[in-house]
Amino acid sequence: MLTRDLLAKIRDKIRDNFSHFAKLEASYGKPITQAKWDVEASIQVFDYYSQLDITNEHVKNVEIKNFPIGAVGLITSFNYPLLLTSWKLAPALLAGNTVVLKPSEKTPLSDLFLADLLKSDLPSGAFNVLLGDGTVGKAITSHPDIGMISFTGSSKVGKSIALDCAKRLIPYTLELGGKNAAIVFDGDIEKITDDIITGAFSNMGQNCCGISRLFIKREIYQDVLNVLLKKAKRLVIGDPFDDRTYIGPLVDDYAFKN
C-alpha cells in the first residue's frame, strides 16, 4: 500500500470512530464541543498529508532526493492528545519513517486507541506507543537508534531535549509553552473580545499559545473590559460531556496550582 493511501485510511478510521475519539479527548476535562473540533482537525491533518506529493525533484542538473530518517521519536503534551499526534505522525509516516510515540501520561487514551485501530494496517513496528513519565521520554531522546525528535511540552523539558539532540547532532523540532500577551489598539471590539475569550479560556486555558496577559490602548480599555466581563460571565462551567459547557475541570492538581 502506498504511504499516501495509508494516511487516507488512517483519516477514514478516525472519521469512522469520531464519537469515540471525542469522548476520549473529553475524558480528562476538555469540553466535548472542543474535543470534537480536535478530532475534526486531526482528520484534516491526515487528509492533507494523504494528498501531499514528496516525490524526488529534478531542477535542470540538480536532483533532490528524499530519504527517511529511520526511527523518529515523538513526545506529546496532554492538552491536545490526538491532534498533536496527528501533526507529528502523518508527516513522519509519509516520509517513510518508523515512529516511537510517548504521549503524556495524563492523557494517553486517544493514542492507545489509535494504535489499536491501526494494528492491521501498518507494518509491524511502524507505530509504537510507549507509556510513562519523563524518564521514558529521556530514554527516547537519548537512544542511539532514534534519528529525530519532535516534542511538544514545557520550555524546561525542551531545553533538555535540545541538549540531548545536540550531543548526537540529530535534528529536532520543539513546540514549547509560553506566557502570551494580546496587544489591542483598536478595531471591532466584539470580534476582539471573542478572540480574547477563545485565547484565554478554550481548553480551560491549557494552551501553549493561550492568552494570559492583555495590553489595551487606554482610550478603549474600559470598553473592552466591560464587554469581556459580560462575555466571561456567560461562559458555562461544568460537565465536559455537556454540550453547553465551555470550561471543564483542569487536567490535574498540578495544573490547578500552577
Confidence of residue 221 (pLDDT cuts 50, 70, 90): very high
Q: Of 52, 40, 42, nearest to 5 (Cα)?
A: 52
Tens of pLDDT along 22-74? 999 999 999 999 999 999 999 999 999 999 987 766 667 777 778 899 999 99
Give the separation between CA 257 and CA 210, rounded to whole angstroms.
17
Q: Of 121, 120, 65, 112, nearest to 93 (Cα)?
A: 121
- Quote the pLDDT of residue 58: 66
Confidence of residue 5 (pLDDT cuts 50, 70, 90): very high
Taken in order of first residue, the domains within the chain and their CATH numbers are 3-176 (3.40.605.10), 180-257 (3.40.309.10)
- Quote the pLDDT of residue 2: 65
pLDDT at 1 over 60: no
- Quote the pLDDT of residue 258: 77
Active-site residue 105, yes or no? no
Active-site residue, from 57, 175, 190, 219? 175
Tens of pLDDT along 114-153? 999 999 999 999 999 999 999 999 999 999 999 999 999 9
Tens of pLDDT along 10-25? 999 999 999 999 999 9
Give the separation between CA 196 and CA 182, rounded to whole angstroms.
8
DSSP string across the chain: --HHHHHHHHHHHHHHTHHHHHHHHHTTT--HHHHHHHHHHHHHHHHHHHT-----EEETTEEE-----SEEEEE--SSSHHHHHHHHHHHHHHTT-EEEEE--TTS-HHHHHHHHHTTTTSPTTSEEE---SHHHHHHHHT-TTEEEEEEEE-HHHHHHHHHHHHHHT--EEEEE---EEEEE-SS-HHHHHHHHHHHHHGGGG--TT-EEEEEE-GGGHHHHHHHHHHHHHHPPBS-TTSTT-SB---SSHHHHH-
Q: Of 91, 13, 98, 82, nearest to 51 (Cα)?
A: 91
CB atoms within 10 A of CB 50: 20
State percent of the chain over pLDDT 70. Answer: 98
